[in-house]
Chains A and B, each alone.
Chain A
């Protein structure tokens, strides 16, 4: 100290301690902070006061000038210490902030990058590296544009320009990026621009989120929907798929055509704005009774008859409407499928057929009735003629008159039979209940009682089922077949008729077997024709209507009738009738 004083003293004089100590104080304040700075200041003041100001080692000194200088020094020291402290604090905060940012940046669950204004990756986080499949080092060699999908490059460039021009604060787009290996990756990219204090652009901050899974799911959904729409389009039947809020998901052109729509409606509301729906009887459909409402409640509608028309085009429709809910994996109703089966043509055809049938029946009825009168006139007039002029005509004339009378009477009978034949099936009669075949057979036997007694016939049967046939029809069947057996009996022995029934798939197969004269199997089909006979009227009377009526009855129920025989050894008539639910 004495040396310093000895050498420097003459140059610095009383200022020496101040100048000498100022540098350590500044250094202490700058690096040590407030306390160290203040301590250095205080220590410098003490040392300088005691050692460098005369009289040395004296506490009290008389020089006012020196006191002022030391005061200034103290103020300076304190000031510099406070400044140093503040600088250190802000530096620490800056460092902490940077650490925080770095930590956020590095550990972020999304990819993050700082991108230079030239498009180079300046800084990338691990997540981004994982997304793109490159190391940070590799990425820094690349420009962003080189990884972007060619289709996305133009728009990315435009956005960057808008950012640089200050037209936008940031943007967010969904883009595809090329991975180092493997397929393209879908990313949601959010970009903002970092500017310095003067507003000069420094770099871009990019946040990259991998949305490939979502995109793939969306794509799968889109493919599903496309497949669904293609399936819909391929359907012959009109169909529409709606979500549960009644927005149209898919609709086929058969549906559009049926309701006369050119462009597919977006929602059910658009449908009912243009199309009028009503029940089959013309009454309006209650809102909660519509096929859509049923399906949304989880109910399935199979065939609801609905009529209506397109109000704009006037096109009428008549449909069987069906609907069903479509449920998601959790079983919640996600959508509703509506189908429509066009029955307009069928209804028209049915009506035409009904009219035609009615006309035919009226015709048959009228013809039968109107034919009977002239035939009766012919028969009776000839009879009158024959009787009045009996004995006055020769034998040939008598025979001719007899033939005329017989001809007219036979034709009269045939007309009557024809009437029966047309009347036997009444299409207006509803589906029959089950009828006991044994009871029908008993009735048929009662009806034939006289003939049975007369021919001394025996009619027997096995167990017979119940089946859905009108009893009058079954009675008629048995009666006609048994009556045939009695008529075509062998003269030398009384007729025996036996009836059996066996189950044959969905049918009951009946067999009526007799011991009569039989017939040549060659004629087995012919005998069922209207007015077809195998024998002369002289041998066996009849018009040949019986088996034709049997055929008509059996075919009315969708059954079959046929016969098998050996001449002279009896015949068996078979008929099969649907068993329905019966046993």
Chain B
């Protein structure tokens, strides 16, 4: 998180490539300048995070994490637990984005005694999906107090 860094480091934990593409579209529409890392399952996400947590030889930890819950190998809540157990992970905004209705997502996360910063349901309409970029930006800004370029 150097001060000279211009673009936001975003980790997208998502097994569905078309959803990764849609998330990137949405974030562009939301006015983000960002670089993405993609983890396609729970294990990959945890490996990635623990590698980052070690620090050496890796780029800085992500500035924002977009997390799906229904992941292969490890459930999204387990990934969230690993994130929240790290020192930086407690400050990093995590947006949970899943197919289930919003209240169901929140219930799942709370049932695991965890807390995300934002709970969003993947919409059925393309326009609505793209509009999520703004919601994610607002979430990020309110959480970190920083403004997105």
Q: Which A residues are closer than 8 A to B by beta carbons?
A: 369-370, 372-373, 375-377, 379-381, 383-384, 387, 409, 412, 416
Contacts and interface: CB of A to CB of B under 8 A. Distances in A.
Contacts of A373: 16, 70, 99, 122
Contacts of A369: 70, 99-100, 104
A376 B124 contact: yes
- Which 8 residue pairs across A and B have the least CB separation, nearest first? A373-B99, A383-B126, A372-B99, A376-B124, A369-B100, A380-B126, A379-B124, A409-B124
Interface in B100-124: 100-101, 104, 122-124
Contacts of A383: 125-126
B99 A380 contact: no
A384 B124 contact: no
B126 A412 contact: no
Nearest to B70: A373
B18 A412 contact: no
B22 interface: yes
A375 B99 CA distance: 10
Contacts of B19: 377
B129 interface: yes
A381 B18 contact: yes
Contacts of B70: 369-370, 373
B18 A377 contact: yes
A19 B111 CA distance: 145
Nearest to B128: A380
Nearest to A372: B99
B100 A372 contact: yes
A379 to B, nearest CB: 5
Interface in B117-144: 122-126, 129
Select the residue from A373, A381, A409 with max chain B CB neighbours within 10 A: A373
A376 B126 contact: no
Contacts of B122: 373, 376
A371 to B, nearest CB: 9
Given A373-B122, A381-B18, A412-B124, 10 more contacts: A370-B70, A373-B16, A373-B70, A380-B18, A380-B125, A383-B125, A383-B126, A384-B126, A387-B126, A409-B125
Interface of B: 16, 18-19, 22, 70, 99-101, 104, 122-126, 129
B100 A380 contact: no
A373 B70 CA distance: 10
Contacts of A375: 124
8 contacts: A369-B99, A372-B99, A375-B124, A376-B122, A376-B124, A380-B124, A384-B126, A412-B124
Contact of A377 (B16, B100, B101, B123): B16
A168 B107 CA distance: 96
Contacts of B22: 380
Contacts of A372: 99-100
A416 B101 CA distance: 9
B16 A380 contact: no
A438 B100 CA distance: 34
Nearest to A386: B126
Contacts of A381: 18
Contact of A376 (B99, B101, B104): B99
A379 B18 CA distance: 12
Select the residue from B18, B99, B100, B104 with max chain A CB neighbours within 10 A: B99
A449 B41 CA distance: 45
Contacts of A377: 16, 18-19
Nearest to A365: B104
Contacts of A370: 70
A369 B75 CA distance: 15
B3 to A, nearest CB: 38
Select the residue from B16, B124, B129 with max chain A CB neighbours within 10 A: B124
A298 to B, nearest CB: 52
Contacts of B125: 379-380, 383, 409
B66 to A, nearest CB: 16
A256 to B, nearest CB: 51
A387 B129 CA distance: 14
A376 B101 CA distance: 13
A376 B70 CA distance: 14
A370 B72 CA distance: 13
A159 to B, nearest CB: 90
Contacts of B123: 376
A372 B19 CA distance: 14
Nearest to A382: B126
Nearest to A370: B70
Nearest to B127: A383
A260 to B, nearest CB: 45
Contact of B129 (A380, A409, A412): A380
A387 B22 CA distance: 14
Contacts of B100: 369, 372
A414 to B, nearest CB: 12
Contacts of B124: 375-376, 379-380, 409, 412
A387 B125 CA distance: 12
A287 to B, nearest CB: 45
A384 B124 CA distance: 12
Nearest to B99: A373
A416 B124 CA distance: 12
A409 B129 CA distance: 14
A429 B100 CA distance: 24
Nearest to B104: A369
Contacts of B99: 369, 372-373, 376
Nearest to B21: A384
B116 to A, nearest CB: 18
B16 to A, nearest CB: 7
Nearest to A371: B99
A250 to B, nearest CB: 57
A372 B100 CA distance: 8
A315 B87 CA distance: 59
Nearest to B126: A383
A49 B22 CA distance: 176
A369 B98 CA distance: 10
A423 to B, nearest CB: 10
A294 B5 CA distance: 82
A266 B124 CA distance: 76
A380 B100 CA distance: 16
A379 B99 CA distance: 13
A73 B122 CA distance: 158
Nearest to A416: B101
A362 to B, nearest CB: 14
